[in-house]
Amino acid sequence: KPGEQKRSKEPSSLQCMHLAVVACGDRLEETLIMLKSAVLFSNRRLCFHIFAEDSLKPEFEEKLQEWPSSYTKKFEYNIYPITFSVGNAQEWKKLFKPCAAQRLFLPVILKEVDSLLYVDTDVLFLRPIDDIWHILKEFNSTQLAAMAPEHEIPKIGWYSRFARHPYYGATGVNSGVMLMNLTRIRNTQFKNSMIPSGLTWEEMLYPLYQKYKNYITWGDQDLLNIIFYFNPECLYVFPCQWNYRPDHCMYGSNCRGAEEEGVSILHGNRGVYHDDKQPTFKALYEVIRDFPFEDNLFQSLYYPLQSKFLDTVHTLCGRIPQVFLKQIEKTMKKVYENRVIVYLGANHRY
């Protein structure tokens, strides 16, 4: 395909877990740290689909090729230009953040991919992608996508207070982490507010935008909420620990799943990795960013993280460090055990 770069000699796309991200503007570093967190902890092979502005493409290639071979052998990647198959490209680009609307077109562009996990650039994986990938098997016969609620408490949620358009459920859903069965999306006729009969995903996007563009605030996320408002049977809702944002702790802890199991996927929206408003989120980002690939996970990642967390106890998020540490500790133990077992097995002599 034009503009596509493939870096793999193995035809493993059927076996690997597909991860997509859209990066424009100043999101290069964030995207690389997200990909790094995915590679650090995941077990199965990964296929990265990176949609980026042309100016970022050589930088992505250069940085990814600098990673040690022990990690680059765990994934392959493709880099795609930003493209919109229907409607006005300039309108789509300006819909919310630059290029964010690209995610709406993934089912149209990635025609050979059956299922996919889309994440925003400001996401960090604190456990293997394998674990959220398994949720695909929990879909019933009508479900074709999975997202987490936008908020846990309707009376303080954004959609339930301010939205001027239809939205899913009591609080809407957040599109920063979105698991998709692309085959089902491509084959479904979606109910809508424009014509009595159904429309395909691609047919629906631009007319839907035209109808609601004066009422949407959060761009493509609002369009997804509208789609699943009319097609609620198509959505699987996963719990908040799979898309944990500052809203889940900055007003007091309100994500029960994270309290019980720990944060699985951290979503540092509103730029919290780069300012001092939520130092707990920033600490996690900086520790993963600064971790040398070949170093010991406990010495060079977990212990520095514990130390940084001591400086965040003055915040509500910082008062619940166990919520942030539980899954990452569990994951690192598994990684360590697997490496020890592999090492001993390779060196065992009868």
Q: Are residues 104 and 251 in the same domain?
A: no
Distances in Å between the Cα of 219 and the Cα atoms of 26, 104, 213, 280 are 19, 11, 8, 28
> In degrees rounded to 5, what are phi and psi of residue 21?
-150, 150
In a domain, 11, yes or no: no
Q: How confident is the model at residue 336 (pLDDT cuts 50, 70, 90)?
A: confident
Distances in Å between the Cα of 110 and the Cα atoms of 31, 184, 288 are 20, 13, 30
Structure tokens at 59: 């930088």
In a domain, 64, yes or no: yes
Which of 10-24, 68-82, 126-140 has the least mean pLDDT?
10-24
DSSP H or E run through 334: helix 321-347
Beta-carbon contacts of 278 under 8 Å, excluding residues fewer than 6 positions away, are 246, 250, 268, 272, 315, 317
Q: Are residues 71 and 213 in the same domain?
A: yes
pLDDT score, position 5? 45
From 238, 270, 288, the end of a domain falls on: 238
Q: For the domain that residue 136 is a member of, what is the CATH number? A: 3.90.550.10
In a domain, 12, yes or no: no
The helix/strand/coil state of 318 is helix
Predicted confidence (pLDDT) per residue in 217-246, tens digit: 877 899 999 999 999 999 999 999 999 999
Q: Are residues 158 and 288 in the same domain?
A: no
In a domain, 1, yes or no: no
From 238, 259, 279, the end of a domain falls on: 238
Q: Are residues 138 and 272 in the same domain?
A: no
26 class by beta-carbon count within 10 Å (0-12 exposed, 13-18 middle, 19+ buried): exposed
Q: Are residues 123 and 261 in the same domain?
A: no
- The domain tally of the chain equals 2
Q: Are residues 45 and 150 in the same domain?
A: yes
344 class by beta-carbon count within 10 Å (0-12 exposed, 13-18 middle, 19+ buried): exposed
Distances in Å between the Cα of 293 and the Cα atoms of 30, 54, 122, 347 are 17, 28, 20, 23
Q: How confident is the model at residue 216 (pLDDT cuts 50, 70, 90)?
A: confident
Q: Are residues 137 and 191 in the same domain?
A: yes
The shares of helix, strand and coil residues in the chain, as percent rounded to the nearest 5, are 45, 15, 35
Q: Is the pLDDT of residue 182 over 80?
A: yes
Q: Are residues 228 and 84 in the same domain?
A: yes
d(CA 165, CA 169): 13
Q: Which residues pair with 20 in a beta bridge?
A: 49, 118
Q: Are residues 192 and 77 in the same domain?
A: yes
**Stronger pLDDT, 334 or 145, i.e. the higher one:** 145
Structure tokens at 126: 């604190």
pLDDT score, position 167? 87
Q: What's the mean pLDDT in 239-254?
A: 94
DSSP tag of 269: T
In a domain, 209, yes or no: yes
Q: Are residues 206 and 321 in the same domain?
A: no
In a domain, 350, yes or no: no
Q: What's the mean pLDDT in 61-68?
A: 96
Q: Are residues 139 and 37 in the same domain?
A: yes
pLDDT score, position 350? 44
In a domain, 2, yes or no: no
d(CA 3, CA 48): 15
Q: Are residues 179 and 259 in the same domain?
A: no
In a domain, 249, yes or no: yes
Predicted confidence (pLDDT) per residue in 159-180, tens digit: 888 788 898 999 999 999 999 9
Three-state secondary structure along 283-311? HHHHHHHHCCCCCCHHHHHHHHHHHHHHH
Residue with the two structure tokens 């944060």: 263
CB neighbourhood size of 256 (10 A): 13
Beta-carbon contacts of 263 under 8 Å, excluding residues fewer than 6 positions away, are 126, 241, 244, 323, 324, 326, 327
Q: Is the pLDDT of residue 11 over 50?
A: no
Which of 8-12, 90-94, 282-286 has the least mean pLDDT?
8-12
The helix/strand/coil state of 1 is coil
Domain that holds residue 304: 241-345
From 172, 203, 238, the end of a domain falls on: 238
d(CA 333, CA 299): 12
The helix/strand/coil state of 125 is strand
Predicted confidence (pLDDT) per residue in 34-56, tens digit: 999 999 999 999 999 999 999 99
- Arithmetic mean of pLDDT over the chain: 89
